[in-house]
Amino acid sequence: MDRKRENFGSRLAVIMAMAGSAIGLGNIWRFPYMAGQYGGAAFIIVYVICSVFLALPIFLSESIIGRATQKSTFGAFRQLAPGTRWSSLGLLTVITPVIILSYYSVVGGWSIEYLIKSISDGFHSGSITDAASEFSQFSSSTGGPVLCHTVFLMGCAIVILGGVKKGIEKFSNITMPVLFMLMLMIMIYSIFLPGAGEGISYMLKPDFSKLTPTAVAAAMGQAFFSLSLGVGTILTYSSYVQKKEDIFVSGLGTAGFDLLFALIAGFAIMPAVFAAGLEPGAGPGLIFETLPYIFAQMSDVSPVISSIIAVIFFISITVAALSSAISMFEVGVAYLVEEHRVSRRKATLAIFSFAWILGIACSLSFGILGEFRISGMTIFSFCDTLTSNFLMTFGGLLFTVFVGWKMDSAIVRREFTNNGTLKFNSRIYPAVRFLVRYVAPIVIVTVFVTNLFL
Ligand code: PFF
C-alpha cells in the first residue's frame, strides 16, 4: 500500500518552511555572539563565503536527493544505491536530528518559561549576577524545566500531527513573516538606545587579526548549524517539493533569509547589550541572563515599553525554536511512516517519547544529574558536542560525497535543471558540481580534522 505523499503548496511555502527550519536559536544567540568574538564584519565575510561555497552545495545535495526520490533519508539512499551500506548511513541522519531535538527542546522550554515570566511579573533583577543566579536556579531545578520542555515538545507534536500542508506549511507561513516583523521592531528600538553605537561597531568593525583557524572553523560550524545541514531535514523537506519548483532558488532564498535574520538579531541584541554597559556573554547566558537584566533596567525607566519588548522578544525566540524543532521532528516521523508503515500519529508518539526522555536527561544534567559525565561532559553538552561538532559535519560530508561521486550524474543534472528546462541552472551546473564533488568534501574534512585537534 502506498500512501499518497503530501507536497508543499508553492515556492514561497517551500522557502518559508525551510527558513523556519533554518532560523532558530542559532541565529538569535549563536550568530551575534560569534560575530563579536571572531572579529565582527571579518567573521561575517567568512561566514558568507562559507554559506555560498560550502553550505549551499550541501543544501543543494540534500535537495537533489530528497526531490529526486520523494522519500525520507533512509528510503532515499536505499532507492538510489540499493544493496549498499548507504542506507544504513541514512539511518544515522535519522538519529542525529532526534538527538538535537532532545536538547534543543530543553532550551525551547526555557524560552517558554521566560515568556511566561515576561507576561506575568516581568524582570526585576538588581544586578547581572542576580539575573544569572535566577537563571541557574531555574535551569538546575527539576520540575519547572522538565514541564516546559514537555510543553515545547507537545507544541511541535501538534504541528507535526497536522501533516505537511496543514501543519508545517501553515505554521511557517504564518509565523515566519511575523517573526521577521517582531525582530525588526526590536532592532529599530535597540539601535536608537543611547550608547548603542558601540554595539553596532562591535558587529560591523572588521578585525582581521581575530580570524584564526578556530574562527574559520566556527564560521563553518555556524553555517552548518544555522542552515540545518547534514541532518536530513533539508532532504526530508525537499522530498515534499514539487517537481516544477527550482531547488536552486529555494536554496538561495532560504540561505538569504537565514543570513538576513541572523544580522537583524545581531543588531537587535548587541546594541542593547552595550547600551546597558555590559559585555556580550556566550550561549544561553546571553538570552537568559544578560537580556533579562537589560529588560529589568529598562523597566526602571519605562515599565510598559520594557514588558512589551520583553514579551515580543521571548515570543520570537520560542517561535523560532519551535519551527526549527518541528523540522527535526519531521525527519524521524517521515522515516517511521514510510519505512515502517506506521500511522503518522504513532510515529509522532514514538519520536515524542524518545526526545522527551533524552530531553529530560539533558534538562536534569543542569541539576541533579550534573555529576553524571560522558567523556567529561554533562549529558546536555555531550549531546550538543556530538551532534554539532561531529554528526552534522559527517552528515554533510555524506550527502556531498553521495551526490558528487555515487549518484547517477544524469539524475543529479535532471533534478538541478528540471530536465534542462531551467536555463540559468543548466549554465551554472558545472560549477555547482565542482563545488559538490571537490570543494565541499575537502573543506569539511579539513575543518573536521582541525576541530579534532583544537
Ligand atoms: N538551524 C537551527 C538554528 O539555527 O537554530 C538549528 C537546527 C535545526 C539544527 C534543524 C538542525 C536541524 F535539523
**Complete DSSP assignment for 19-42:** HHHHSSHIIIIIHHHHHHHTTTHH
CA of 323 to the centre of ligand 1 (A): 9
Determine the atom of ligand 1 nearest the C-alpha atom of 24: 5
Cβ neighbours, 10 Å, residue 143: 7
Where do we find the cell 522578544? Answer: 313
Ligand 1, atom 9, residue with closest C-alpha: 228
- C-alpha span between 205 and 71 (Å, rounded): 45
Distance 121 CA to ligand 1 centre (A): 31
Per-residue pLDDT, 117: 94
**pLDDT above 70 covers what percent of the chain?**
98
Residue nearest to atom 10 of ligand 1 (CA): 228
Are the CB atoms for 313 and 306 separated by under 8 Å? no
Separation between Cα atoms, residue 321 and residue 294, nearest integer Å: 22
Q: Which numbered atom of ligand 1 lies nearest the CA of 392?
A: 11
For ligand 1, what atom is nearest to the CA of residue 22? 1
Q: With residue 89 as reference, give the H or E element that holds it.
A: helix 86-119
The type of residue at 64 is I
Q: Give the residue ranges of DSSP H helices in 340-439.
A: 344-364, 379-385, 392-401, 409-417, 423-434
**CA dihedral sign of residues 263, 268, 269, 272:** positive
CA–CA distances in Å: residue 2 to residues 5, 35, 139, 243: 9, 48, 45, 19
CA 231 to ligand 1 centroid distance, Å: 9
Q: Which atom of ligand 1 is nearest to the CA of 320?
A: 5
- pLDDT of amino acid 3: 55
Q: How far, in Å, is the centroid of ligand 1 from the Cα of 324? A: 5
Distance of CA 58 from the midpoint of ligand 1 (Å): 15
What confidence tier does 114 reach under pLDDT thresholds 50, 70, 90?
very high
Ligand 1 mean position to 419 CA, how many Å? 31
Instruction: State how far the Cα of 116 lies from the Cα of 111, in Å rounded to an integer.
Output: 9
Counting atoms of ligand 1 from 1, which one is nearest the CA of 25?
5
Closest residue CA from atom 12 of ligand 1:
228
CA 108 – ligand 1 centroid, Å: 12
In this structure, the residue with its CA closest to atom 7 of ligand 1 is: 228
The Å distance, Cα 423 to ligand 1 centre, comes to 32
Using DSSP's 3-state secondary structure scheme, residue 127 falls into: coil
CA 39 to chain centre: 23
- Phi–psi pair at 192, nearest 5 degrees: -100, 5
CA distance 71 to 86: 14
Q: Which atom of ligand 1 is nearest to the CA of 100?
A: 11
> For a substitution probing ligand 1, which of 156, 229, 324 has the most ligand atoms within 8 Å of its CB?
324
Q: Is 87's pLDDT higher than 90?
A: no
CB under 8 A, 24+ apart: contacts of 388-393: 388/221, 388/224, 388/225, 389/221, 389/451, 390/448, 391/92, 391/96, 391/99, 391/230, 391/231, 392/96, 392/224, 392/225, 392/229, 392/230, 392/231, 393/221, 393/224, 393/230, 393/444, 393/447, 393/448, 393/451
Q: In the predicted model, is pLDDT for residue 61 greater than 80?
A: yes
pLDDT tens-place string over residues 186-213: 999 999 999 999 999 988 889 999 999 8
pLDDT in tens, 34-57: 888 888 899 999 999 999 999 999
- Between the CA of 339 and the centroid of ligand 1 the distance, in Å, is 24
Choose the weakest-confidence range: 175-179, 211-215, 258-262, 382-386: 211-215
**Probe target for ligand 1 pocket from 225, 330, 394, with the most ligand atoms within 8 Å of CB:** 225
Q: Which atom of ligand 1 is nearest to the CA of 233?
A: 13
In this prediction, residues 367-381 reach a mean pLDDT of 96
Distance CA 274, CA 279 (A): 7
φ and ψ at residue 369, rounded to 5 degrees: -100, 15
Residue type, 44: I
pLDDT of residue 298: 86
Dihedrals phi, psi of 374, to nearest 5 degrees: -120, 125
What distance in angstroms lies between residue 300's CA and the mean position of ligand 1's atoms?
A: 36
Looking at the CA of residue 96, tell me the nearest atom of ligand 1: 13
Q: Which pLDDT belongs to residue 281?
A: 67
Residue type, 161: L
pLDDT at 217: 86
Closest by Cα among 3, 439, 10, 2 to 241:
10
In the three-class reduction of DSSP (H, G, I as helix; E, B as strand; rest coil), residue 374 is classed as strand
Cα–chain-centroid distance for residue 134?
A: 27
Question: CA 325: distance to chain centroid?
Answer: 8
Instruction: Report how far ligand 1's centroid is from the alpha carbon of 302 (Å).
Output: 35
Count CA within 13 A, CB hemisphere, residue 115: 18
pLDDT band at 282 (very low <50, low <70, confident <90, very high): low
Q: CB within 6 Å of ligand 1 — which residues?
A: 21-22, 24-27, 97, 100, 225-226, 228, 231, 233, 324, 327-328
Residue with cell 504564518: 174
Q: Which fold has domain 11-453?
A: Amino acid/polyamine transporter I (1.20.1740)
Q: Whose CA is closest to atom 11 on ligand 1?
A: 228
Q: In this structure, what C-alpha cell is assigned to residue 2?
A: 502506498
Pocket test for ligand 1, best of 156, 172, 226, 390 (most atoms within 8 A of CB): 226
CA–CA separation, 70 and 400 (whole Å): 18
